[in-house]
Structure 1
Amino acid sequence: MTQRPIFRQSPTDPVFVQDPYPAYERMRALGPAVFWEDYGMWCLTGFEAVGALFRDRRFGREVLHVASRAELGWPEIPAHLAPFYAVEAHSLLEREPPVHTRLRGLVNRAFVSRAVERLRPRIAALAEEAIDGFEAEGRVDLLARFATPIPVIVIAELLGVPAAMSDRLLDWSHRMVAMYQFNRTRAVEDSAVAATEDFVAFMRGYVEERRSRPADDLISHLIAAETAGERLTTDELVTTCILVLNAGHEATVHAIGNGVKALLETGVDTAAAFATPAGTETLCEELLRYDAPLHMFTRYALEDVEIAGARLNRGDEIGLLLGAANRDPARFADPARLLPDRADVASLSFGAGIHFCIGAPLARLELQAALPVLFRRLPGLRLAAPPVYADRYHFHGLERLDVAW
């Protein structure tokens, strides 16, 4: 594989962690496709190129449906990681057609059966309750007390899992998604596997309970979902519930945190911006573009292919840099500025193509319902300490968000 142009930037470098956007601009200046040496793979930074590759069927989230590990020269999965990847094997996020088509159709039907819009009053109420709990304190870590509990409770209630389980669900989720971080350690792997086994045991028991006592929740709808005589297997049900819980809060927590940080740092007139539903929707889309909670997604080349000057062999991985694409000056005027009324703001924060985030409507709704409540209740909201991003690339979210009013 040709390894030019080469870009060197450790994803764990403290300067990059706190502000990756200057590095993306240096990368963009090298060309449409750049070999990121630290990852050992080609990456795309442009909005049009990233969007096109999301939809390019020569690339996929998996490659083992077209080639064996031996053909690709891949080692076998280490025994200590087998439980984690056994769950991944049934994930909607990790499969390609025809398996993906069947899974997505079944899960879509379940989501449609409980319209997301019905959750708007509940999300607003949770925002009010969270603020009631800390308003008298005058200062708080907003990530822990507002941005985290709302999405976790919403997704638990949507699935039908007791909200009292939220702390345990959060712990399992954080340990599992740590597997996707750059330069993970054996300790991280062992922790992720242990969390996976605990999560699977819990969800398997809960699915069986719902089989005998169905309710108006997502687990029950997933159990009942059927297309052309096919239903989800128990393993697929368990993995889907874990995926929904993990993806359903992880990104939204940081979308809220990053969004509030951006609003406070840039001095947006939130009263005016949130004055109408249309203005609220536009601003929330701009926040998702401006500082997305997920900065990289990857695809495998399903065949030998050349794209943007990069030659890839079947099985090679390519990085799609969402954070860079969302600030592409060829797509957005003045992309480094937060513009509350930006026209045509559609970003790539939720991906595109057949793997477009199935939870995007819920994530958008949570921003649109929670943020106006926060700024209405606490009009004097301000940063009480410099916000610090967590060293968890390719995720991009804060460790904490200290605010006062």
Structure 2
Amino acid sequence: MTSLPDFLRIDPTTRQVSLDGRDPAFYSDPNRVYSVFHQHCPTFYWEEQRQWFFTGYDRVNALLRDRHFGRQILHVASREELGMPEPEKHLANFDLAERHSLLEIEPPEHTRLRTLVNRAFVSRHIEKLRPEIADLAEKLIDGFEKDGRTELLSSFADIIPVTIIARMIGIPDEMGPQLLKWSHAYVGMYMFKRSAADEHAADRAAREFSDYVRTLITERRKTPAEDLLSHMIHTEHKGQHLTDDELVSTTIVLLNAGHEATVHQIGNSVRVILESGLSPDALFRDEAATQRTVEETLRICAPVHIFQRWALEDIEVDSVSLKRGDKVSLILAAANLDPKMFSDPLLFKPERKEAQNLSFGAGIHFCIGAPLARLELNTVLPILFRRLPGLRLEAKPTVKDVYHFHGLERLDLFW
């Protein structure tokens, strides 16, 4: 077995793990640690996080679909029953924005909201965006190609996903930079590094973000347009329309989820491809090869690593006794590295024909934006490598301290 890194302590007998999630030695290369978990204890109790974590592919895949677990708990038990503290007053705006989030609710509310939104994200509708995505990528490259170098996140990766999802919803392109600021502050609530300052910033972003969306809702009620927000406002499901609070929550989660992970994934993918030494011409030689390459980058460097769920009743999983109200974490990125499912899991092998990666989750909370993210990656990566032959890393990329997201601080390239 591989020896343990200095920053990791594991007791295989009790399955207790001690690990500082903010240690750069961990978050800079989490795959190495996940490999150790698979060897010693695929299911473990992370002492610092005070939670059980699951990394095995079959276990994670099953728990994502298991209706004994949910993204909510207060629909089946009170705070008093669970010993849960009252909401923090300084997070009132954030909590309101999250109250009806597709990511945080369960049926029947989840079914109603997802049904109203899902039509816009099915593959046959998303595919129509391919020319628009390609055109945006080409124009961005036109702007820096002659320079011979670029910082790819700010010049390319940040811009494409937020522009496309904003256009789908009905938000002007010029709002892109502000949407990015709100989103970065908002998702700070989900990171291990979260501090009081992060919480206040997230609440402020939630308030400003919500206020902006409410002005859009008022405009679209008066003057509907051919966009997703108008569709959500004016479409009924079983005789019911979405409330303003539901519209705000849904719009915010679509904007955040619709670009945050894809920004990271464009950068992660380019890095992995360049570090692999494999020929981009071969990796993107045709549509099938491109799809295999994209799926392999999603497997080996997923942009979102953890998905949490509540136990809705007392239950035992892998000899772990869980009580109703216990929260568990599923490490999607580690499941993608399970040696029982993937040969040489730490190697980038686009030609592999093995299990489907779990980077977009599974079950009723499978990422609604997966077809859009895949289309963006399958469209812009081949364009980037075709337009910039000889593309190379100018410096070793630094991973952001944003675990459990996984992305780069910057990606300096030259050609």
Please state which band the TM-score falls in when normalised by the shorter chain: over 0.9
Q: Following the alignment from structure 1 to structure 2, what is the Cα–Cα distance between the partners of residues 113 and 377?
A: 27
Partner of 2:304: 294
- Correspondence list, 1:147-162, <5 A: 147-162=157-172
Q: What are the residue-to-residue correspondences of 1:95-244 with 2, within 5 Å?
A: 95-112=105-122, 115-244=125-254
**Who is 1:378 aligned against?**
388
SS at match of 1:115: helix
1:42 shift after superposition: 0.3
Q: Is 1:110–1:225's contact at 8 Å kept on the other side of the alignment?
A: no
| Deviations, residues 306-350 of structure 1 (Å, cap 9, x unaligned) | 101211111111110111100111011111111122214510000
**Whole-Å separation in 1 of the counterparts to 2:211 and 2:127:** 31
2:315 maps to 1:305: yes
Counterpart in the other structure of 1:38: 48
Counterpart in 2 of 1:73? 83
List gaps (5 residues or longer) in structure 2: 1-12
Please tell me whether residue 255 in structure 1 is matched to residue 265 in structure 2. Answer: yes
Q: Tell me how far apart the structure 2 counterparts of residues 121 and 226 of structure 1 sit (CA, whole Å).
A: 31
Task: Establish whether residue 47 from structure 1 lines up as the match of residue 57 from structure 2.
Answer: yes
Distance in 2 (CA, whole Å) between partners of 1:177 and 1:152 is 15
1:352-378 deviation per Cα after TM superposition (whole angstroms, max 9, x unaligned):
000000000000000000000000000
Instruction: Find out whether 1:274 has 2:284 as its counterpart.
Output: yes
> Would the aligned equivalents of 2:54 and 2:329 in 1 still touch at CA under 8 Å?
yes
CA–CA distance in 1 between the matches of 2:348 and 2:38? 20
Residue 341 in structure 1 maps to residue 351 in structure 2: yes
Partner Cα separation in structure 1 for residue 324 and residue 370 of structure 2: 31
Q: AA paired with 1:6?
A: Q
For residues 355 and 392 of structure 2, what CA distance do their matches in structure 1 show?
26
Q: Separation in 1 of the partners of 2:383 and 2:318?
A: 45
- TM-score, normalised to structure 2, is 0.95
Paired residue type of 1:104 = R
Give the Cα–Cα distance (whole angstroms) in 2 for the partners of residues 316 and 113 of structure 1.
36
Identity of aligned residues (%): 55
Supply the distance in 1 between the matched residues of 2:401 and 2:109 (Cα, whole angstroms).
34
Distance in 2 (CA, whole Å) between partners of 1:331 and 1:365 is 26
Q: Which residue of 1 aligns with 2:326?
A: 316
2:255 aligned with 1:245, yes or no?
yes
User: What is the letter of the counterpart of residue 368 of structure 1?
Assistant: N
2:396 and 2:122 map into 1 onto residues whose CA distance is 41
Match of 2:18 in 1: 8
Instruction: Give runs of aligned pairs for residues 344-363 of structure 1, distance below 5 A.
Output: 344-363=354-373
CA distance in 1, matches of 2:61, 2:331: 10
Q: CA deviation at 1:87?
A: 1.2
| Residue deviations 1:34-79 (CA, integer Å, cap 9, x gap) | 0011111000011110000000001011111000011000010111
Q: Distance in 2 between matches of 1:29 and 1:205?
A: 53
Structure 2: distance between partners of 1:38 and 1:24: 17
Quick one: distance in 1 between partners of 2:350 and 2:409?
Answer: 25
Check conservation: 1:384, 1:403, Cα contact below 8 A.
yes
Do the aligned partners of 1:110 and 1:222 also contact (CA within 8 Å) in 2? no
Using the TM superposition, give the Cα deviation of residue 222 of structure 1 relative to its aligned residue in structure 2, in angstroms: 1.2
Equivalent position amino acid for 1:261 in 2:
R
Partners in 2 of 1:113 and 1:398 — Cα distance?
Answer: 28
SS in 1 for 2:316: strand
* Pairwise CA distance, 1:101: 1.2
The DSSP-based 3-state class of the residue aligned with 2:103 is helix
In structure 2, the partner of 1:366 is: 376
Equivalent position SS for 1:62: coil
TM-score, normalization by structure 1: 0.97
Query: CA RMSD, aligned part only?
Result: 1.3
Greater Cα shift, 56-65 or 180-189: 180-189
Q: Alpha-carbon deviation of 1:100? A: 1.0
Q: In the TM superposition, what whole-angstrom CA distance separates every residue of 1:5-37 from its partner, at most 9, and x where no partner exists?
A: 101111100111110112112222333310011
1:282-302 Cα distance to aligned partner (Å, 9 max, x none): 111111001000111110100
Kindly tell me: are residues 61 and 84 of structure 1, through their superposed partners in 2, closer, same or farther at Cα, counting changes over 3 Å?
A: same
Aligned equivalents of 1:256, 1:113: Cα separation in 2: 20
In the other structure, the counterpart of 2:3 is none
CA distance in 2, matches of 1:22, 1:306: 29
Give the ranges of 4+ consecutive aligned residues of structure 1 lying more than 6 Å apart after TM superposition: none
- Amino acid of the residue matched to residue 64 of structure 1? L
Confirm or deny: 8 A CA contact 1:160 1:218 kept in the other structure.
yes
Structure 1: stretches of 5+ with no match in the other structure: none
Give 1:225 deviation, angstroms.
2.3
